[in-house]
Structure 1
Protein backbone atom coordinates (compact mmCIF):
# COMPACT_ATOMS: atom_id res chain seq x y z
CA UNK A 1 0.00 0.00 0.00
CA UNK A 2 1.11 3.56 -0.64
CA UNK A 3 0.61 6.26 1.99
CA UNK A 4 -1.61 9.10 0.77
CA UNK A 5 -0.97 11.45 3.70
CA UNK A 6 1.59 11.90 6.47
CA UNK A 7 1.18 13.92 9.64
CA UNK A 8 0.53 13.62 13.34
CA UNK A 9 -2.43 12.55 15.41
CA UNK A 10 -2.71 14.87 18.42
CA UNK A 11 -4.77 14.71 21.59
CA UNK A 12 -3.84 16.94 24.50
CA UNK A 13 -0.06 17.02 24.61
CA UNK A 14 0.29 13.59 23.05
CA UNK A 15 1.63 13.57 19.49
CA UNK A 16 1.39 10.40 17.40
CA UNK A 17 3.17 10.54 14.00
CA UNK A 18 1.17 8.52 11.48
CA UNK A 19 0.91 7.57 7.83
CA UNK A 20 -2.55 7.34 6.25
CA UNK A 21 -3.56 4.62 3.78
CA UNK A 22 -6.83 4.03 1.97
CA UNK A 23 -8.50 1.01 3.58
CA UNK A 24 -10.54 0.04 0.52
CA UNK A 25 -9.97 -0.54 -3.19
CA UNK A 26 -12.22 -0.66 -6.22
CA UNK A 27 -12.45 -3.98 -8.09
CA UNK A 28 -15.13 -2.96 -10.59
CA UNK A 29 -14.48 -3.86 -14.23
CA UNK A 30 -13.20 -0.67 -15.93
CA UNK A 31 -15.41 0.36 -18.86
CA UNK A 32 -15.13 3.24 -21.31
CA UNK A 33 -17.35 4.70 -24.02
CA UNK A 34 -17.06 3.89 -27.73
CA UNK A 35 -18.82 4.91 -30.94
CA UNK A 36 -21.48 2.25 -31.55
CA UNK A 37 -20.99 2.43 -35.34
CA UNK A 38 -17.26 1.67 -35.50
CA UNK A 39 -16.05 1.05 -31.92
CA UNK A 40 -13.91 4.18 -31.91
CA UNK A 41 -12.95 5.45 -28.45
CA UNK A 42 -14.89 8.48 -27.22
CA UNK A 43 -12.57 11.19 -25.85
CA UNK A 44 -13.44 14.29 -23.87
CA UNK A 45 -11.54 17.54 -24.16
CA UNK A 46 -11.43 20.58 -21.91
CA UNK A 47 -12.54 23.40 -24.21
CA UNK A 48 -12.75 27.07 -23.25
CA UNK A 49 -16.21 28.38 -24.13
CA UNK A 50 -14.83 31.86 -24.93
CA UNK A 51 -12.11 31.08 -27.49
CA UNK A 52 -12.94 27.45 -28.34
CA UNK A 53 -9.38 26.37 -27.58
CA UNK A 54 -8.47 23.08 -25.87
CA UNK A 55 -6.95 24.00 -22.50
CA UNK A 56 -4.13 21.93 -20.92
CA UNK A 57 -4.91 20.73 -17.40
CA UNK A 58 -1.94 22.74 -16.04
CA UNK A 59 -3.63 25.96 -17.22
CA UNK A 60 -6.95 25.28 -15.48
CA UNK A 61 -7.89 27.05 -12.24
CA UNK A 62 -10.97 26.66 -10.06
CA UNK A 63 -13.60 29.36 -9.70
CA UNK A 64 -16.75 30.29 -7.80
CA UNK A 65 -19.70 31.79 -9.65
CA UNK A 66 -22.57 33.44 -7.75
CA UNK A 67 -24.60 33.98 -10.92
CA UNK A 68 -23.33 37.50 -11.54
CA UNK A 69 -19.61 37.43 -10.82
CA UNK A 70 -16.84 34.83 -11.03
CA UNK A 71 -13.99 34.60 -8.54
CA UNK A 72 -10.98 32.68 -9.85
CA UNK A 73 -9.01 30.68 -7.27
CA UNK A 74 -5.51 29.60 -8.28
CA UNK A 75 -3.65 26.59 -6.91
CA UNK A 76 -1.49 29.02 -4.93
CA UNK A 77 -4.60 30.63 -3.38
CA UNK A 78 -5.90 27.27 -2.18
CA UNK A 79 -2.51 26.08 -0.92
CA UNK A 80 -2.21 29.24 1.17
CA UNK A 81 -5.30 28.44 3.24
CA UNK A 82 -4.25 27.69 6.86
CA UNK A 83 -6.34 24.54 7.17
CA UNK A 84 -4.86 23.06 3.99
CA UNK A 85 -1.31 23.57 5.30
CA UNK A 86 -2.09 21.72 8.53
CA UNK A 87 -0.57 18.26 8.88
CA UNK A 88 -2.40 17.38 12.06
CA UNK A 89 -5.28 15.06 12.84
CA UNK A 90 -6.70 16.85 15.86
CA UNK A 91 -8.80 14.95 18.39
CA UNK A 92 -11.80 17.15 19.17
CA UNK A 93 -13.49 14.88 21.71
CA UNK A 94 -13.97 11.28 22.80
CA UNK A 95 -17.55 10.04 22.58
CA UNK A 96 -19.37 6.77 23.39
CA UNK A 97 -18.97 4.54 20.34
CA UNK A 98 -22.71 3.89 20.02
CA UNK A 99 -23.33 7.62 19.49
CA UNK A 100 -21.73 7.56 16.03
CA UNK A 101 -24.60 7.30 13.55
CA UNK A 102 -23.78 4.66 10.92
CA UNK A 103 -25.48 6.86 8.32
CA UNK A 104 -22.72 9.46 8.68
CA UNK A 105 -19.81 7.05 8.11
CA UNK A 106 -17.95 7.68 4.85
CA UNK A 107 -14.53 6.54 3.57
CA UNK A 108 -12.19 4.47 5.82
CA UNK A 109 -8.41 4.84 6.16
CA UNK A 110 -5.74 2.86 8.02
CA UNK A 111 -3.26 4.68 10.26
CA UNK A 112 0.29 3.33 10.56
CA UNK A 113 2.67 4.56 13.27
CA UNK A 114 5.40 6.68 11.68
CA UNK A 115 8.12 6.82 14.35
CA UNK A 116 10.93 4.70 15.73
CA UNK A 117 8.70 3.67 18.64
CA UNK A 118 4.95 2.92 18.29
CA UNK A 119 4.33 3.38 22.02
CA UNK A 120 2.13 6.49 21.69
CA UNK A 121 0.15 4.76 18.93
CA UNK A 122 -0.40 1.63 21.04
CA UNK A 123 -1.29 3.76 24.08
CA UNK A 124 -4.06 5.54 22.18
CA UNK A 125 -5.32 2.24 20.71
CA UNK A 126 -5.51 0.55 24.10
CA UNK A 127 -7.13 3.61 25.67
CA UNK A 128 -9.91 3.59 23.08
CA UNK A 129 -10.44 -0.13 23.65
CA UNK A 130 -10.52 0.14 27.45
CA UNK A 131 -12.87 3.13 27.55
CA UNK A 132 -15.11 1.93 24.67
CA UNK A 133 -14.85 5.40 23.16
CA UNK A 134 -14.48 6.71 19.63
CA UNK A 135 -12.34 9.76 18.99
CA UNK A 136 -13.94 12.48 16.86
CA UNK A 137 -11.15 14.17 14.92
CA UNK A 138 -10.71 16.98 12.44
CA UNK A 139 -8.12 17.22 9.66
CA UNK A 140 -7.54 18.46 6.11
CA UNK A 141 -7.17 16.22 3.08
CA UNK A 142 -7.18 17.18 -0.59
CA UNK A 143 -8.29 20.76 -0.06
CA UNK A 144 -11.17 19.86 2.21
CA UNK A 145 -11.62 20.02 5.96
CA UNK A 146 -12.96 16.70 7.19
CA UNK A 147 -14.55 15.34 10.32
CA UNK A 148 -13.77 11.71 11.11
CA UNK A 149 -14.21 8.93 13.66
CA UNK A 150 -11.06 7.29 14.99
CA UNK A 151 -11.62 3.74 16.21
CA UNK A 152 -9.85 0.42 16.66
CA UNK A 153 -9.91 -2.53 14.25
CA UNK A 154 -7.77 -5.38 15.48
CA UNK A 155 -4.32 -3.89 16.17
CA UNK A 156 -4.81 -0.95 13.82
CA UNK A 157 -6.31 2.51 14.28
CA UNK A 158 -8.91 3.24 11.61
CA UNK A 159 -9.88 6.74 10.55
CA UNK A 160 -13.34 6.89 8.97
CA UNK A 161 -14.46 10.21 7.57
CA UNK A 162 -17.89 11.46 8.62
CA UNK A 163 -20.50 13.38 6.67
CA UNK A 164 -21.22 16.82 8.08
CA UNK A 165 -24.59 17.12 9.83
CA UNK A 166 -26.06 19.26 7.02
CA UNK A 167 -25.04 16.66 4.41
CA UNK A 168 -27.40 14.02 5.82
CA UNK A 169 -30.91 14.48 4.46
CA UNK A 170 -33.86 14.16 6.79
CA UNK A 171 -36.32 11.40 5.87
CA UNK A 172 -39.97 12.41 5.79
CA UNK A 173 -42.49 10.05 4.17
CA UNK A 174 -46.21 10.66 4.25
CA UNK A 175 -46.97 6.93 4.28
CA UNK A 176 -45.29 6.60 7.68
CA UNK A 177 -47.53 9.27 9.17
CA UNK A 178 -50.53 6.96 8.88
CA UNK A 179 -51.24 4.74 11.92
CA UNK A 180 -50.45 1.08 11.28
CA UNK A 181 -51.68 -1.74 13.51
CA UNK A 182 -49.44 -4.77 13.90
CA UNK A 183 -50.98 -7.78 15.63
CA UNK A 184 -49.12 -9.88 18.18
CA UNK A 185 -49.36 -12.88 15.84
CA UNK A 186 -47.80 -10.97 12.96
CA UNK A 187 -44.98 -9.79 15.20
CA UNK A 188 -44.46 -13.32 16.51
CA UNK A 189 -44.26 -14.77 13.01
CA UNK A 190 -41.94 -11.99 11.88
CA UNK A 191 -39.62 -12.63 14.86
CA UNK A 192 -39.69 -16.35 14.03
CA UNK A 193 -38.66 -15.56 10.47
CA UNK A 194 -35.78 -13.44 11.73
CA UNK A 195 -34.65 -16.28 13.98
CA UNK A 196 -34.70 -18.76 11.08
CA UNK A 197 -32.32 -16.51 9.14
CA UNK A 198 -30.07 -15.74 12.11
CA UNK A 199 -26.33 -16.27 11.60
CA UNK A 200 -22.96 -14.74 12.40
CA UNK A 201 -22.06 -12.21 9.73
CA UNK A 202 -19.18 -13.27 7.49
CA UNK A 203 -18.62 -10.67 4.74
CA UNK A 204 -16.39 -13.12 2.87
CA UNK A 205 -19.48 -15.16 1.95
CA UNK A 206 -20.81 -12.38 -0.25
CA UNK A 207 -19.55 -11.35 -3.67
CA UNK A 208 -20.48 -8.74 -6.25
CA UNK A 209 -22.52 -10.95 -8.60
CA UNK A 210 -22.98 -8.18 -11.17
CA UNK A 211 -19.21 -7.74 -11.58
CA UNK A 212 -18.74 -11.51 -11.84
CA UNK A 213 -21.41 -11.74 -14.55
CA UNK A 214 -19.89 -8.76 -16.33
CA UNK A 215 -16.46 -10.40 -16.40
CA UNK A 216 -18.00 -13.65 -17.63
CA UNK A 217 -19.79 -11.78 -20.40
CA UNK A 218 -16.62 -9.99 -21.48
CA UNK A 219 -14.58 -13.22 -21.50
CA UNK A 220 -17.26 -14.95 -23.56
CA UNK A 221 -17.36 -12.12 -26.10
CA UNK A 222 -13.58 -12.25 -26.43
CA UNK A 223 -13.62 -16.01 -26.92
CA UNK A 224 -16.47 -16.03 -29.45
CA UNK A 225 -15.34 -13.08 -31.49
CA UNK A 226 -17.91 -10.65 -30.11
CA UNK A 227 -20.87 -12.88 -31.12
CA UNK A 228 -22.70 -14.01 -28.01
CA UNK A 229 -26.35 -14.67 -27.23
CA UNK A 230 -26.81 -13.71 -23.57
CA UNK A 231 -30.60 -14.16 -23.39
CA UNK A 232 -30.42 -17.40 -21.38
CA UNK A 233 -27.80 -16.24 -18.90
CA UNK A 234 -28.96 -12.67 -18.44
CA UNK A 235 -32.64 -12.93 -19.40
CA UNK A 236 -35.79 -11.71 -17.73
CA UNK A 237 -36.38 -14.79 -15.62
CA UNK A 238 -37.86 -13.80 -12.29
CA UNK A 239 -38.27 -10.11 -13.16
CA UNK A 240 -42.00 -10.35 -13.64
CA UNK A 241 -42.69 -10.83 -9.93
CA UNK A 242 -40.02 -8.43 -8.66
CA UNK A 243 -41.20 -5.30 -6.89
CA UNK A 244 -44.79 -6.51 -6.43
CA UNK A 245 -46.64 -5.36 -3.31
CA UNK A 246 -47.33 -8.04 -0.70
CA UNK A 247 -51.01 -7.74 0.14
CA UNK A 248 -51.44 -10.54 2.71
CA UNK A 249 -48.69 -9.92 5.26
CA UNK A 250 -49.66 -12.84 7.49
CA UNK A 251 -49.62 -15.29 4.57
CA UNK A 252 -46.25 -14.02 3.41
CA UNK A 253 -44.77 -14.33 6.90
CA UNK A 254 -46.14 -17.86 7.37
CA UNK A 255 -44.89 -18.97 3.96
CA UNK A 256 -41.46 -17.48 4.64
CA UNK A 257 -41.18 -19.19 8.02
CA UNK A 258 -42.29 -22.53 6.58
CA UNK A 259 -39.93 -22.31 3.65
CA UNK A 260 -37.02 -21.38 5.90
CA UNK A 261 -37.80 -24.25 8.32
CA UNK A 262 -38.08 -26.70 5.43
CA UNK A 263 -34.73 -25.58 4.03
CA UNK A 264 -33.07 -25.92 7.42
CA UNK A 265 -34.63 -29.37 7.96
CA UNK A 266 -33.37 -30.47 4.55
CA UNK A 267 -29.85 -29.35 5.44
CA UNK A 268 -29.98 -31.29 8.70
CA UNK A 269 -31.35 -34.35 6.84
CA UNK A 270 -28.47 -34.25 4.38
CA UNK A 271 -25.95 -33.82 7.17
CA UNK A 272 -27.34 -36.54 9.48
CA UNK A 273 -26.38 -39.63 7.36
CA UNK A 274 -22.76 -38.42 7.34
CA UNK A 275 -22.81 -38.13 11.12
CA UNK A 276 -24.39 -41.60 11.40
CA UNK A 277 -21.73 -43.21 9.23
CA UNK A 278 -18.98 -41.58 11.24
CA UNK A 279 -20.48 -42.92 14.49
CA UNK A 280 -20.83 -46.45 13.09
CA UNK A 281 -17.28 -46.48 11.85
CA UNK A 282 -15.97 -45.57 15.25
Structure 2
Protein backbone atom coordinates (compact mmCIF):
# COMPACT_ATOMS: atom_id res chain seq x y z
CA UNK A 1 0.00 0.00 0.00
CA UNK A 2 1.07 3.57 -0.66
CA UNK A 3 0.69 6.23 2.03
CA UNK A 4 -1.72 9.01 1.06
CA UNK A 5 -0.91 11.36 3.96
CA UNK A 6 1.98 11.84 6.35
CA UNK A 7 1.94 13.89 9.53
CA UNK A 8 1.28 13.36 13.22
CA UNK A 9 -1.55 12.20 15.44
CA UNK A 10 -1.75 14.19 18.65
CA UNK A 11 -3.61 13.95 21.94
CA UNK A 12 -2.71 16.25 24.82
CA UNK A 13 1.03 16.86 24.63
CA UNK A 14 1.67 13.47 22.99
CA UNK A 15 2.49 13.52 19.29
CA UNK A 16 2.75 10.34 17.19
CA UNK A 17 4.29 10.57 13.69
CA UNK A 18 1.98 8.53 11.43
CA UNK A 19 1.18 7.68 7.83
CA UNK A 20 -2.36 7.19 6.48
CA UNK A 21 -3.32 4.38 4.11
CA UNK A 22 -6.72 3.88 2.51
CA UNK A 23 -8.54 1.11 4.37
CA UNK A 24 -11.19 0.55 1.68
CA UNK A 25 -11.21 -0.54 -1.94
CA UNK A 26 -13.89 -0.63 -4.61
CA UNK A 27 -15.51 -4.00 -5.31
CA UNK A 28 -17.59 -2.93 -8.30
CA UNK A 29 -16.73 -4.01 -11.83
CA UNK A 30 -14.90 -1.50 -14.01
CA UNK A 31 -16.90 -0.69 -17.14
CA UNK A 32 -15.66 1.42 -20.06
CA UNK A 33 -17.94 3.79 -21.99
CA UNK A 34 -18.05 2.76 -25.66
CA UNK A 35 -19.49 4.01 -28.92
CA UNK A 36 -22.26 1.50 -29.74
CA UNK A 37 -21.46 1.69 -33.46
CA UNK A 38 -17.86 0.38 -33.38
CA UNK A 39 -17.14 -0.21 -29.66
CA UNK A 40 -14.40 2.41 -29.59
CA UNK A 41 -13.68 3.82 -26.14
CA UNK A 42 -15.08 7.24 -25.32
CA UNK A 43 -12.52 9.63 -23.89
CA UNK A 44 -13.40 12.60 -21.73
CA UNK A 45 -11.50 15.78 -22.50
CA UNK A 46 -10.91 19.01 -20.57
CA UNK A 47 -12.18 21.60 -23.03
CA UNK A 48 -11.75 25.38 -22.83
CA UNK A 49 -15.30 26.72 -23.27
CA UNK A 50 -14.02 29.75 -25.19
CA UNK A 51 -11.46 28.26 -27.60
CA UNK A 52 -13.06 24.77 -27.64
CA UNK A 53 -9.53 23.31 -27.46
CA UNK A 54 -8.30 20.68 -25.00
CA UNK A 55 -6.43 22.08 -21.98
CA UNK A 56 -3.25 20.30 -20.77
CA UNK A 57 -3.59 19.07 -17.19
CA UNK A 58 -0.64 21.19 -15.99
CA UNK A 59 -2.43 24.34 -17.20
CA UNK A 60 -5.53 23.76 -15.09
CA UNK A 61 -5.87 25.86 -11.92
CA UNK A 62 -8.56 26.19 -9.25
CA UNK A 63 -10.58 29.37 -9.09
CA UNK A 64 -13.34 30.73 -6.86
CA UNK A 65 -15.92 33.01 -8.46
CA UNK A 66 -16.21 36.26 -6.53
CA UNK A 67 -18.06 39.35 -7.83
CA UNK A 68 -18.30 37.97 -11.38
CA UNK A 69 -14.55 37.29 -11.53
CA UNK A 70 -12.31 34.39 -10.51
CA UNK A 71 -9.75 34.40 -7.71
CA UNK A 72 -7.07 31.85 -8.64
CA UNK A 73 -5.85 29.61 -5.80
CA UNK A 74 -2.68 27.55 -5.52
CA UNK A 75 -1.60 24.79 -3.14
CA UNK A 76 0.06 27.24 -0.75
CA UNK A 77 -3.22 29.13 -0.32
CA UNK A 78 -5.02 25.99 0.82
CA UNK A 79 -2.25 25.12 3.26
CA UNK A 80 -2.12 28.69 4.57
CA UNK A 81 -5.82 28.43 5.46
CA UNK A 82 -4.96 25.88 8.16
CA UNK A 83 -1.21 25.16 8.23
CA UNK A 84 -1.30 23.28 11.54
CA UNK A 85 -4.19 21.07 10.39
CA UNK A 86 -2.42 20.16 7.15
CA UNK A 87 0.05 17.98 9.00
CA UNK A 88 -1.68 17.17 12.29
CA UNK A 89 -4.65 15.06 13.33
CA UNK A 90 -5.32 16.65 16.70
CA UNK A 91 -7.74 14.77 18.96
CA UNK A 92 -9.93 17.42 20.58
CA UNK A 93 -12.09 15.15 22.75
CA UNK A 94 -12.99 11.54 23.43
CA UNK A 95 -16.53 10.28 22.83
CA UNK A 96 -18.54 7.07 23.03
CA UNK A 97 -18.42 5.59 19.54
CA UNK A 98 -22.01 4.41 20.02
CA UNK A 99 -23.05 8.08 20.12
CA UNK A 100 -21.87 8.65 16.53
CA UNK A 101 -24.87 8.32 14.19
CA UNK A 102 -23.96 5.98 11.28
CA UNK A 103 -25.29 8.67 8.90
CA UNK A 104 -22.10 10.64 9.62
CA UNK A 105 -19.63 7.96 8.48
CA UNK A 106 -17.73 8.47 5.23
CA UNK A 107 -14.51 6.49 4.67
CA UNK A 108 -11.70 4.99 6.74
CA UNK A 109 -7.89 5.07 6.76
CA UNK A 110 -5.37 2.88 8.55
CA UNK A 111 -2.67 4.69 10.50
CA UNK A 112 0.85 3.35 10.76
CA UNK A 113 3.41 4.75 13.21
CA UNK A 114 6.42 6.23 11.43
CA UNK A 115 8.70 4.35 13.82
CA UNK A 116 8.56 0.72 14.93
CA UNK A 117 7.56 -0.19 18.48
CA UNK A 118 6.05 3.25 19.05
CA UNK A 119 4.97 3.20 22.70
CA UNK A 120 2.60 6.17 22.42
CA UNK A 121 0.78 4.50 19.50
CA UNK A 122 0.39 1.24 21.46
CA UNK A 123 -0.75 3.17 24.53
CA UNK A 124 -3.48 5.00 22.62
CA UNK A 125 -4.73 1.73 21.09
CA UNK A 126 -4.95 0.01 24.47
CA UNK A 127 -6.48 3.03 26.23
CA UNK A 128 -9.21 3.38 23.60
CA UNK A 129 -10.00 -0.33 23.77
CA UNK A 130 -10.21 -0.28 27.57
CA UNK A 131 -12.23 2.94 27.78
CA UNK A 132 -14.46 2.00 24.80
CA UNK A 133 -13.97 5.56 23.58
CA UNK A 134 -12.99 7.11 20.25
CA UNK A 135 -11.04 10.29 19.61
CA UNK A 136 -12.83 13.15 17.84
CA UNK A 137 -10.48 15.20 15.65
CA UNK A 138 -10.13 17.45 12.61
CA UNK A 139 -7.52 17.34 9.86
CA UNK A 140 -6.96 18.49 6.29
CA UNK A 141 -6.77 15.95 3.45
CA UNK A 142 -6.46 17.02 -0.19
CA UNK A 143 -7.21 20.66 0.62
CA UNK A 144 -10.41 19.77 2.46
CA UNK A 145 -10.93 19.94 6.20
CA UNK A 146 -12.45 16.76 7.56
CA UNK A 147 -13.98 15.78 10.86
CA UNK A 148 -12.95 12.30 11.96
CA UNK A 149 -13.02 9.76 14.74
CA UNK A 150 -9.91 7.84 15.75
CA UNK A 151 -10.76 4.33 16.90
CA UNK A 152 -8.99 0.98 17.31
CA UNK A 153 -9.53 -2.04 15.07
CA UNK A 154 -7.64 -4.86 16.76
CA UNK A 155 -4.19 -3.29 17.29
CA UNK A 156 -4.46 -0.66 14.55
CA UNK A 157 -5.61 2.93 14.94
CA UNK A 158 -8.17 3.79 12.27
CA UNK A 159 -9.12 7.30 11.20
CA UNK A 160 -12.69 7.39 9.91
CA UNK A 161 -13.85 10.59 8.25
CA UNK A 162 -17.32 11.72 9.32
CA UNK A 163 -19.58 14.44 8.00
CA UNK A 164 -20.09 17.81 9.64
CA UNK A 165 -23.55 18.46 11.09
CA UNK A 166 -24.44 20.96 8.33
CA UNK A 167 -23.95 18.23 5.71
CA UNK A 168 -26.91 16.23 7.07
CA UNK A 169 -30.24 17.38 5.71
CA UNK A 170 -33.13 18.16 8.02
CA UNK A 171 -36.05 15.73 8.24
CA UNK A 172 -38.58 18.57 8.50
CA UNK A 173 -39.73 18.19 4.88
CA UNK A 174 -40.50 14.48 5.21
CA UNK A 175 -44.15 13.49 5.37
CA UNK A 176 -43.97 11.22 8.42
CA UNK A 177 -46.73 11.09 10.99
CA UNK A 178 -45.57 11.18 14.58
CA UNK A 179 -48.79 10.01 16.25
CA UNK A 180 -49.34 6.52 14.81
CA UNK A 181 -50.88 4.31 17.50
CA UNK A 182 -49.02 1.05 18.14
CA UNK A 183 -50.62 -1.43 20.54
CA UNK A 184 -48.62 -3.15 23.29
CA UNK A 185 -49.10 -6.60 21.76
CA UNK A 186 -47.87 -5.36 18.36
CA UNK A 187 -44.80 -3.80 19.99
CA UNK A 188 -44.14 -6.96 22.04
CA UNK A 189 -44.24 -9.19 18.96
CA UNK A 190 -42.11 -6.69 17.02
CA UNK A 191 -39.50 -6.82 19.79
CA UNK A 192 -39.65 -10.63 19.81
CA UNK A 193 -39.08 -10.67 16.04
CA UNK A 194 -36.02 -8.41 16.41
CA UNK A 195 -34.63 -10.65 19.16
CA UNK A 196 -35.18 -13.73 16.99
CA UNK A 197 -33.07 -12.22 14.23
CA UNK A 198 -30.47 -10.67 16.53
CA UNK A 199 -26.87 -11.90 16.18
CA UNK A 200 -23.30 -10.77 16.60
CA UNK A 201 -22.23 -8.43 13.79
CA UNK A 202 -20.08 -10.36 11.31
CA UNK A 203 -19.77 -8.51 8.00
CA UNK A 204 -17.60 -11.30 6.53
CA UNK A 205 -20.76 -13.37 6.02
CA UNK A 206 -21.96 -10.92 3.38
CA UNK A 207 -20.54 -10.87 -0.15
CA UNK A 208 -21.14 -8.59 -3.11
CA UNK A 209 -23.42 -11.11 -4.84
CA UNK A 210 -24.65 -8.64 -7.45
CA UNK A 211 -21.20 -8.16 -8.97
CA UNK A 212 -20.53 -11.91 -8.83
CA UNK A 213 -23.72 -12.57 -10.80
CA UNK A 214 -22.93 -9.73 -13.17
CA UNK A 215 -19.48 -11.22 -13.89
CA UNK A 216 -21.09 -14.60 -14.62
CA UNK A 217 -23.42 -12.93 -17.13
CA UNK A 218 -20.43 -11.17 -18.76
CA UNK A 219 -18.48 -14.44 -19.12
CA UNK A 220 -21.49 -16.29 -20.55
CA UNK A 221 -22.26 -13.44 -22.92
CA UNK A 222 -18.66 -13.51 -24.19
CA UNK A 223 -19.36 -17.11 -25.27
CA UNK A 224 -22.64 -16.18 -26.95
CA UNK A 225 -24.74 -17.61 -24.13
CA UNK A 226 -27.47 -16.13 -21.97
CA UNK A 227 -27.59 -16.59 -18.23
CA UNK A 228 -30.57 -18.20 -16.56
CA UNK A 229 -32.07 -15.50 -14.36
CA UNK A 230 -33.70 -16.56 -11.10
CA UNK A 231 -37.23 -15.22 -10.80
CA UNK A 232 -38.09 -13.43 -7.60
CA UNK A 233 -40.78 -14.98 -5.44
CA UNK A 234 -41.90 -12.22 -3.10
CA UNK A 235 -43.35 -13.37 0.18
CA UNK A 236 -46.94 -12.36 0.70
CA UNK A 237 -48.73 -12.03 4.00
CA UNK A 238 -52.12 -13.70 4.25
CA UNK A 239 -53.75 -10.52 5.50
CA UNK A 240 -53.35 -6.80 6.11
CA UNK A 241 -53.38 -7.01 9.91
CA UNK A 242 -49.99 -5.88 11.26
CA UNK A 243 -50.17 -8.17 14.32
CA UNK A 244 -50.90 -11.21 12.15
CA UNK A 245 -48.03 -10.33 9.80
CA UNK A 246 -45.68 -10.05 12.78
CA UNK A 247 -46.86 -13.39 14.19
CA UNK A 248 -46.40 -15.09 10.81
CA UNK A 249 -42.88 -13.64 10.62
CA UNK A 250 -42.11 -14.83 14.15
CA UNK A 251 -43.29 -18.33 13.34
CA UNK A 252 -41.31 -18.49 10.09
CA UNK A 253 -37.89 -20.09 10.59
CA UNK A 254 -35.08 -17.61 9.99
CA UNK A 255 -33.39 -18.21 6.64
CA UNK A 256 -36.25 -20.39 5.36
TM-score (norm 1): 0.81
3-state SS of paired residue (2:194): helix
Tell me which residue corresponds to 1:37. Answer: 37
Tell me which residue corresponds to 2:245. Answer: 252
Structure 1 Cα separation of the partners of residues 236 and 38 of structure 2: 38
Q: How far did 1:214 drift? A: 1.1
Q: Is the 8 A contact 1:78 1:143 kept in 2?
A: yes
Tell me which residue corresponds to 1:102. Answer: 102
Structure 2 Cα separation of the partners of residues 84 and 49 of structure 1: 38
Higher normalized helix content (fraction of residues): 1
Q: Is the 8 A contact 1:136 1:147 kept in 2?
A: yes
- Kindly tell me: are residues 85 and 164 of structure 1, through their superposed partners in 2, closer, same or farther at Cα, counting changes over 3 Å? closer
Structure 1 Cα separation of the partners of residues 197 and 96 of structure 2: 30
User: Of 225, 228, 245, which residue of structure 1 is paired with 2:225?
Assistant: 228
Structure 1 Cα separation of the partners of residues 25 and 127 of structure 2: 29
3-state SS of paired residue (1:260): coil
Q: Show CA shifts across 1:221-252 (max 9, x none).
A: 22x1xx3334x316xx338x5999x8431232
- Kindly tell me: are residues 262 and 83 of structure 1, through their superposed partners in 2, closer, same or farther at Cα, counting changes over 3 Å? closer
3-state SS of paired residue (1:192): helix
Tell me which residue corresponds to 1:267. Answer: none
Structure 1 Cα separation of the partners of residues 63 and 236 of structure 2: 44
3-state SS of paired residue (2:89): strand
Total equivalences in the alignment: 255
Unaligned runs of 5+ in 2: none
Structure 2 Cα separation of the partners of residues 110 and 150 of structure 1: 10
2:232 paired with 1:238: yes
TM-score (norm 2): 0.88
- Kindly tell me: are residues 178 and 78 of structure 1, through their superposed partners in 2, closer, same or farther at Cα, counting changes over 3 Å? closer
Deviates more, 1:17-26 or 1:71-80: 71-80
Structure 1 Cα separation of the partners of residues 254 and 34 of structure 2: 50
Structure 1 Cα separation of the partners of residues 130 and 226 of structure 2: 59
Unaligned runs of 5+ in 1: 264-282
